[in-house]
Amino acid sequence: MTGPLAALLTQPLSVITAGVDLFPEALRAQGAEVEKVHWRPPAFGEPAELSALAADPRRVAANRTATERILAAGAELVAVRPAADALGIARELFLHAGPPIEFDDVSGPLRGALIGAALFEGLAADPDEAQRLLETGRIRLEPCHHHRAVGPMAGVTTASMWVSELHDPINGGTAFCSLNEGLGKVLRYGAYSAEVIERLRWMVEVLGPALAAALARSGPIDIKSIVAQMLQMGDEGHNRNRAGSLMFLRDLAPAIAESGGSATQVVEVLRFLGGNEHFFLNYGMPAAKLAMDAARDLPGSSVVVAMARNGTDFGIQTAGTGDSWFTAPADIPEGLFLGGYGPEDANPDIGDSAIMETLGVGGFSMAAAPAIVRFVGGTVPDALATTRQMYAITVTENPTYTIPVQEFRGAPTGIDVLSVARTGILPQINTGMAGRVAGTGQVGAGLVKPPQECFENALRALAHATRA
Amino acid sequence: MTGPLAALLTQPLSVITAGVDLFPEALRAQGAEVEKVHWRPPAFGEPAELSALAADPRRVAANRTATERILAAGAELVAVRPAADALGIARELFLHAGPPIEFDDVSGPLRGALIGAALFEGLAADPDEAQRLLETGRIRLEPCHHHRAVGPMAGVTTASMWVSELHDPINGGTAFCSLNEGLGKVLRYGAYSAEVIERLRWMVEVLGPALAAALARSGPIDIKSIVAQMLQMGDEGHNRNRAGSLMFLRDLAPAIAESGGSATQVVEVLRFLGGNEHFFLNYGMPAAKLAMDAARDLPGSSVVVAMARNGTDFGIQTAGTGDSWFTAPADIPEGLFLGGYGPEDANPDIGDSAIMETLGVGGFSMAAAPAIVRFVGGTVPDALATTRQMYAITVTENPTYTIPVQEFRGAPTGIDVLSVARTGILPQINTGMAGRVAGTGQVGAGLVKPPQECFENALRALAHATRA
């Protein structure tokens, strides 16, 4: 025997073991040197699927390309205009959050929001008529995600509403999002009372035009830069948007003041923006959408490009599987409740806002926002540990979105379906909680994870794509 | 022998030792049970002084009263008006930061600021004439602190400048501070070029009146609440005031827009506030001054109520020693430099802004603002460790000013001269750095501590007061 193998046998040998302690103990008892390796079997997935995906020679390079595009993506707010113009949608087409859904299957908050939108659009005179139009399919439903858009909670976006248009100057993408209504009794949480509809009208008549005029005067606003800064200022960009909303107000306030609106309207708009700590969420979300859309359609990549919930199902999409959704029934978040509400009042997980976690902020960057635990529950050490854990299921770290308390380590970025299957660690999402009953509004905020089944289904499809 | 002592001798005995290891080792060698106590001799102070102060029966209660007043103090911004009205100062009386100083002893940045102020007030036509007026005593100097005021860096405050007036509704105090000019070439850093004087004129003509009118419309602004919130948003309130400045802008922007100024002036003011990340420092400082002034004049208390620097000397005052200053030559901060500047360009420590640390924010709450290390130098673990260390020299914790990453532990509050002497731990201050040469402006930002001599002198005076 010659060569490396022969050399091996002339040196002292040691044994590497993994798994149960029985083997290393037996070996040690016989005087052998034993090195224990920490290894656990994959948490889920068929062995054939796991090995097919792991062995796919395209995977590493495709995942690298996916995350390079995600990290490089820019996000500039370039326009605010009616959804009819921006998205080219007819009045009878209502967009909603999450994967596709039939009206028969919608949960309370999405039903409430759809009813409210029908009233707001003047398609129905009352909730009963709205319900009939929705049941008979006279009003059609499609996901925001199918129109390059995202919407928080119910995410209902209709032709008359004004939306923001964001542009990615690096990858060339475009994304849209509605304007944020504030908290409490609002359409996106399923409320549709008169005050909700009245606020939506004011947003069309005053807020949208004021923002559009101000933006035309100020020029594009760099949303990516604000997201980067908010992570230095105690926001995680999903359930804490305080600093982000303040920076947005700062950037646009002078242009709002000089944009030619009446003094009363200028004051109204400044008050509305100043009074809404979540206004920036609706800019962070399309910024995240731009980054994740840049990674779509990369055969061989196992990176998640969308996580979204319609209040009934949770759906994910991956870079390697085109427009397919991998869905499973959504869980109910655990967290803190407003006023007299409790767990029995909460609807299952809803909204496109999990696009923030898909990008690596929100729940993934909780360590940047320890004060978030006062809003979503849990402890500060939990928040720090959650971010550390997310590195185990992501491909890379974001050098622009950094977390000060982690000595400026970049946010964990690029969820890898294979890593989720191997570790059994599911993505952590911070989220608002809508009332289960249509018309209620927000009942709390909390923490939730996607059902493992979404990842099992995605794994199967990715494995199948390698064999194709 | 009866009673407790007798009972003691019937039980197994163990020995408590402190100091060098020789004794416990010798005892252990003889089979005795030994408990080592961590104890170090006091770091400084004469034994007679230390024991006199420690034994003063008034001390514990007086320190408790001092910190109760500090913690209870409120801070509402109630007015913005010219210093001549607010402080009742003549045009020839210039206020400055730190303890009292003669013009012959002033350092470059304070000299530059005094010259600039003489030009701004129209008392001198050029820097030479200004210098003569200062040398001959035609322009007199007094500390801001002697007029219930504080000023950052040089702190020069003169009759024509507009100042903010803050009120403490709990303890009844009033405090004043100038308006913040922004960064770079500004009077408070010793610059006095034409642009500096021109900005000061604009602040008198436009900014001051606009803020006054807006405040009259909005009603008092709760500065204490903003300080509490900024600590949840990555600011430490001395060298990071980003979130605080944004919240101040948010609170006042609608009232600025409707306060009746011309559209151009409204836009100018919104731009100036939005472009100055340190604007809020000049509200945090008088809020801290209010809290610390509430603890003044409590015989027997060893709590520090002011730390201030005039660019030559560092001075401290305590609750138990009235208006006495305990001074020593100020050190030069260590930190990060702007542009081509280096350590040789830095002036010794200057400014009343150490009132923030006296209150327990700023350097004491660095753990709330890990991103500060990018501005003042050091590492994130250093920042976290600094806050932990400050608990060793403070009497209590502030339940309103909490630090999220420390699981909302309150800021270390009430520096105790006796604890400083016992531990040798000096207060940590974050500070800006002025150029040594008059007219330069800011050269950097960094970390600095008071000279130990200030505390040695304060300890002596406090000990003497116990014997009186």
Calculate what percentage of chain B has a pLDDT beyond 70.
97
User: In this complex, is the C-beta atom of B262 within 8 Å of any C-beta atom belonging to chain A?
Assistant: no
Confidence of residue A6 (pLDDT cuts 50, 70, 90): low
For testing contact with chain B, the best of A226, A233, A279, A408 (most B CBs within 10 A): A233
Residue B19 has pLDDT above 80, yes or no: no
**DSSP β-bridge partners for residue B96:** B143
* Closest residue in A to B234 (Cα–Cα): A233
User: In this complex, is the C-beta atom of B213 within 8 Å of any C-beta atom belonging to chain A?
Assistant: no
Buried b (16+ CB within 10 A) or exposed e, A31-58: eeeeeeeeeeebebbeeebbebbeebeb
C-alpha to C-alpha distance for B98 and B105, rounded to whole angstroms: 13
pLDDT at B193: 96
Strands A33-37 and A76-82: unpaired
- Do A206 and A269 contact (CB within 8 A), yes or no? yes
Other CB atoms within 10 Å distance of the CB of residue B212: 17
DSSP label at B427? Answer: P
pLDDT at A34: 84
pLDDT at B23: 80
C-alpha to C-alpha distance for A362 and A126, rounded to whole angstroms: 37
Calculate what percentage of chain B has a pLDDT beyond 90.
87
Residue B209 has pLDDT above 90, yes or no: yes
Residue A13 has pLDDT above 80, yes or no: no
pLDDT at A393: 98
A170-212 pLDDT, tens digit per residue, is: 999 999 999 999 987 899 999 999 999 999 999 999 999 999 9
* Among A residues 229-248, those touching chain B with beta carbons less than 8 Å apart: 232-235, 242-243, 246-247
C-alpha to C-alpha distance for A101 and A155, rounded to whole angstroms: 13
Residue B355 has pLDDT above 70, yes or no: yes
A351-364 pLDDT, tens digit per residue, is: 999 999 999 999 99
pLDDT at A103: 98
Q: Average pLDDT for residues B137-155, to the nearest whole number?
A: 98
Residue pairs spanning A and B at CB distance below 8 A: 92
All structural domains of chain B: 13-42 (no CATH), 48-70+296-467 (3.90.1700.10), 73-286 (3.90.1710.10)
* Closest residue in B to A254 (Cα–Cα): B267
C-alpha to C-alpha distance for A454 and A447, rounded to whole angstroms: 18
* Closest residue in B to A371 (Cα–Cα): B404
Q: Average pLDDT for residues A384-393, to the nearest whole number?
A: 97
Q: Average pLDDT for residues A115-123, to the nearest whole number?
A: 98
For testing contact with chain B, the best of A235, A246, A258, A366 (most B CBs within 10 A): A246
pLDDT at A23: 80
Find tokens 């011309």 and name the residue: B262
> Which residues lie below 8 Å from residue A199, measured CB to CB, with a gap of 6+?
A181, A182, A186
Buried b (16+ CB within 10 A) or exposed e, B383-398: bbebbebbbebbbbbb
Calculate what percentage of chain A has a pLDDT beyond 90.
87
Q: Average pLDDT for residues A383-406, to the nearest whole number?
A: 97
Q: Which comes out higher in pLDDT, residue A114 or A339?
A: A114
Residue B144 has pLDDT above 90, yes or no: yes
- Distance in Å, alpha carbon of B416 to nearest chain A alpha carbon: 29
CA nearest to B311, candidates B130, B112, B461, B94: B112
Structure tokens, A125: 């005179």
> Which residues lie below 8 Å from residue B179, measured CB to CB, with a gap of 6+?
B80, B161, B162, B163, B164, B203, B207, B208, B211, B279, B282
pLDDT at A197: 97
Residue B467 has pLDDT above 70, yes or no: no
Confidence of residue A61 (pLDDT cuts 50, 70, 90): very high
**HEC sequence for B200-235:** HHHHHHHHHHHHHHHHHHHCCEEHHHHHHHHCCCCC
Calculate what percentage of chain A has a pLDDT beyond 70.
98
C-alpha to C-alpha distance for B349 and B315, rounded to whole angstroms: 11
- Do B204 and B212 contact (CB within 8 A), yes or no? no
Q: Average pLDDT for residues A238-247, to the nearest whole number?
A: 97
- Do B319 and B62 contact (CB within 8 A), yes or no? yes
Q: Average pLDDT for residues B420-443, to the nearest whole number?
A: 95
pLDDT at B351: 98
Residue A3 has pLDDT above 80, yes or no: no
Structure tokens, A123: 């398609």
Segment of A19-23, A375-379, B22-26, B70-74 carrying the highest mean pLDDT: B70-74
Confidence of residue B222 (pLDDT cuts 50, 70, 90): very high
Put simply, whether the predicted model's pTM sits higher than 0.95 gets the answer no
ipTM metric: 0.91
pLDDT at B40: 79
C-alpha to C-alpha distance for A250 and A237, rounded to whole angstroms: 17
B373-382 pLDDT, tens digit per residue, is: 988 999 999 9
pLDDT at B31: 82
* Closest residue in B to A378 (Cα–Cα): B407
Closest by Cβ to A246, choosing from B250, B270, B406 = B250
**DSSP β-bridge partners for residue A141:** A94
Q: Which comes out higher in pLDDT, residue B23 or B113?
A: B113
pLDDT at B27: 82
Residue A467 has pLDDT above 80, yes or no: no
Output the CA torsion sign for A203, A162, A319, A226: negative
pLDDT at B267: 95
Structure tokens, A92: 């009878």
Find tokens 């949960």 and name the residue: A107
Chain B residues close to A371, C-beta within 8 Å: 232-233, 404
User: In this complex, is the C-beta atom of B251 within 8 Å of any C-beta atom belonging to chain A?
Assistant: yes
> Which residues lie below 8 Å from residue A136, measured CB to CB, with a gap of 6+?
none
- Distance in Å, alpha carbon of B242 to nearest chain A alpha carbon: 8
Q: Average pLDDT for residues A82-86, to the nearest whole number?
A: 98
DSSP label at A120? Answer: H
- Do A163 and A82 contact (CB within 8 A), yes or no? yes
Residue B196 has pLDDT above 70, yes or no: yes
The amino acid present at B172, given as its one-letter code, is: G
For testing contact with chain A, the best of B365, B405, B409 (most A CBs within 10 A): B405
Q: If residue B246 lies in a helix (H) or strand (E), which one and from where to where? A: helix B242-257
Burial label, A400 (beta-carbon count in 10 A; 0-12, 13-18, 19+): middle
Residue B42 has pLDDT above 90, yes or no: no
DSSP-H helix ranges across A181-337? 194-202, 208-218, 223-230, 242-257, 263-274, 281-293
C-alpha to C-alpha distance for A441 and A183, rounded to whole angstroms: 9
Confidence of residue A22 (pLDDT cuts 50, 70, 90): confident
- Distance in Å, alpha carbon of A337 to nearest chain B alpha carbon: 20
Q: Helix B452-467 crosses helix B47-55 at what angle (to 10 degrees)? A: 60
Find tokens 């911070």 and name the residue: A430
Residue B125 has pLDDT above 80, yes or no: yes
pLDDT at A390: 98
Q: Average pLDDT for residues B131-158, to the nearest whole number?
A: 98
